[in-house]
Amino acid sequence: MVTGSPATAGGASSATGVDSSAAGGAGSAARAAVEAVVDPEIRVLTIAELGILRAVEVTEATGAVRVTITPTYSGCPAMELIRAEIRAALHRSGFTDVAVVTELAPAWSTDWITEAGRHKLAAVGIVPPAPAATGPVPVPLAVRCPACGSPRTEQLSRFGATACKALWRCQDCTEPFEQMKAF
């Protein structure tokens, strides 16, 4: 185990959006740098598109940057690396005073993956998640094969190579593929 930034509870300032308290120059530069950080496990998505970036706040007087992120899953092993890459991205953009904090509430949902993010997932053959279940009885929707479009698919495993994906196979073209689980 490696001790990272202590998790802090409390209400998030924004569920999916990114706040930048400083108008113009420093604020937008910091925000752009952080938004471009790529998720280490699904490398086609940025952390902004994945919906795990909560806020980027810049104190204009000092140039200090405070970034708030949230984990996809409690045990997500990529969080340490994501923190390090946020710091590195900000350092490259000239920000040296950087704090990355983790916020758990409200809990991340796949509904926070942006439209652009969903298109990018689909483009690399990862089926984007269905809307997260809200009622007591989730109704599973047909999952279409990303290779041939057939709805005749079967789930091979409810868990995949990362915590957020499940493994499927197409019964028509037999291609195996991944789906991001609605969560």
12/34 Cα distance (integer angstroms): 18
- Residue 46 is given by DSSP the state B
**Among 37-45, 140-148, 159-167, 168-176, which window interacts with other proteins (CB under 8 A)?**
159-167
**Interacting residue with other proteins among 14, 23, 36, 74 (CB under 8 A):** 74
Q: Which residue has the tokens 């509904």?
A: 111
> Residues 21, 25, 26, 28: is their CA dihedral positive or negative?
positive
Q: For residues 25 and 32, what is the distance between their CA atoms, to the nearest angstrom?
A: 11
Candidate segments 33-41, 74-82, 139-147, 168-176, binder of other proteins by CB under 8 A: 74-82
What is the rounded distance in angstroms from the CA atom of residue 58 to the CA atom of residue 98? 9
Nearer to other proteins, 96 or 171 (CB): 171
String of DSSP letters for 152-180:
-EEEEES--SSTTEEEEEETTT--EEEEE
Instruction: Note whether 71 binds other proteins by CB under 8 A.
Output: yes
Does residue 156 belong to the site contacting other proteins (CB under 8 A)? Answer: yes
Q: Which of 163, 169, 173, 176 binds other proteins (CB under 8 A)?
A: 163
Q: Does 96 bind other proteins (CB under 8 A)?
A: no
Residues in touch with other proteins (CB under 8 A):
1-3, 6-10, 71, 73-77, 103-108, 156-161, 163, 167, 181, 183
